[in-house]
Amino acid sequence: MIFNNRKKNIFLFLSINNILLLCGILITLFFIILALSASFLQGQNIIQNPLESLINPIHQPPNNEHWWGTTGQGYDVFSRTIFGTQAAFKVVTLATGLSLVIGVPLGLVSGYFGGKLDKLLLFLMDTIYTLPGLLLSVTLAFVVGRGIFNAAIALSISYIPQYYRVVRNHTTSVKTELFIEAAQAMGATPQRILTKHLFFNVVQSVPVLFTLNAADAILILGGLGFLGLGLPENVPEWGYDLRLALDGLSTGIWWTTLFPGLAMTTMVTGLSLLGEGLTEFFEPRIR
């Protein structure tokens, strides 16, 4: 009987859903390690300075000295791609973190207290939610300007309603449970009920939403960089590098677009797999 249970557990672990989740974790960890080690690798002279032009740089194909070739502006593609990982993680972490910190408390307060405050916040969040994320981010980028923190603000606004709606809906259903009524009857303050009893019962979906928003934010950041609205020109960023590489694509210079585009696609795929895997982990009925 014990042997059969072990076989069943091994089978469940090796199911296709868990394999996809494992792939998402490994891909995401790979890019995290890459982002953290980029400066160290440059210090060890393993990679070039991503902002330093070469003496004879123009559109060299991949070779022993420049593994992924060089751009028309004199940059090493490999170095720019590696340091682009750093920029992506900084902006995405700030953007999703800001939207989480703002959206979750608003959802808790709105769902618990209800009334006019709930109606006002719901109307505001629904209005923001109806706007396309890329269009809203482009508009905000025009207003706040370039920069890592500014790009994070431009991205975060469109994600706040998602955290708000998920947490609010869970809060409105959980606040009618008996353990909440018992806490109220014992004289617990609203602050204590929100922080001790409600918070940990309504945030199960937040990690899933965080990873899916991170994947979406990378694509939108790439779009902002492609339009020249994301990060400053002295910061390596995949979308901006793709914009610079467009001129050479029609003449057969493929390496300047392939590697930044492949890095962006792989990172988004890893985060998406991680998010989908976490969704099925927290909601077994979805399987």
Q: Could you report the per-residue pLDDT of 91-122, keeping only the tens digit for each? A: 999 999 999 999 999 999 999 898 899 999 99
Using DSSP, state whether 246 is helix, strand or coil: helix
pLDDT in tens, 127-148: 999 988 888 999 999 898 889 9
CB-based contacts of 126, cutoff 8 Å, min separation 6: 161
55-98 pLDDT, tens digit each = 667 788 888 888 898 888 888 999 999 999 999 999 999 999 99
227-242 burial, b for 16+ CB within 10 Å, e for fewer? eebbbeeebbbbbbbb
Domains identified in the chain and CATH numbers: 2-49+67-286 (1.10.3720.10)
Of 10-14, 15-19, 118-122, 257-261, which range is least confident? 10-14
- 108, 198 Cβ separation under 8 angstroms: yes
